[in-house]
Amino acid sequence: MATSQSTKEAIWLRKLLGDVGCVQVDATTIMCDNQGCIALAKNPTHHSRTKHIDVQHHFIREKLESSEISLRYCPTEDMVADVLTKALAKERHHRLAKAMGLRERNYSQSGSVGV
């Protein structure tokens, strides 16, 4: 499950930044496009009725309860990370790259980078 991996990475980065003197007080927000995952992580009563729950869901719930992370829903079409992980249509690629803060380079006809 991607949210579990993202949570592990967020915890690792929080510890690394803490080691270099940049302590993060607020929870790290993880954007997730899976509403079912968010519901399972936030609703412990739902967990007790779900037989197939595994360690990953409990790990995420534990980090939510300790306020190390927070989960926020982001629709799939607005998921900025997709620009790094998926082949996208040109229009969506440009929109997500712009949302990430990247900008297009201007190329001259000779192929060298324009200034």
Whether residue 111 is contained in a domain is answered as no
**Which of the four pLDDT bands, split at 50, 70 and 90, describes residue 34?**
confident
- Residue from 61, 81, 72, 66 nearest 24 by CA: 66
Q: Does 84 reside within a domain?
A: no
Distance of alpha carbon 63 from alpha carbon 7, whole angstroms: 8
Q: Report yes or no: 14 and 29 within 8 Å, Cβ to Cβ.
A: no
| Cβ atoms of 107 and 113 closer than 8 Å | yes
62 inside domain: yes
The pair of three-digit structure tokens given for residue 92, joined into one six-digit string:
């969506």
Would 18 be classed as within a structural domain?
yes
21 belongs to a structural domain? yes
Are 53 and 39 contacting, i.e. CB atoms less than 8 angstroms apart?
no
The domain of 6 spans: 2-75
pLDDT band at 51 (very low <50, low <70, confident <90, very high): low
Out of 3-7, 58-62, 102-106, pick the least confident.
102-106
Whether 109 is in a domain gets the answer no
Domain assignment present for residue 49? The answer is yes
Q: Tell me, rounded to whole angstroms, the distance of Cα 64 from its chain centroid.
A: 14
Is there a domain that residue 80 lies in? Answer: no
**Count of the separate structural domains present in the chain:** 1
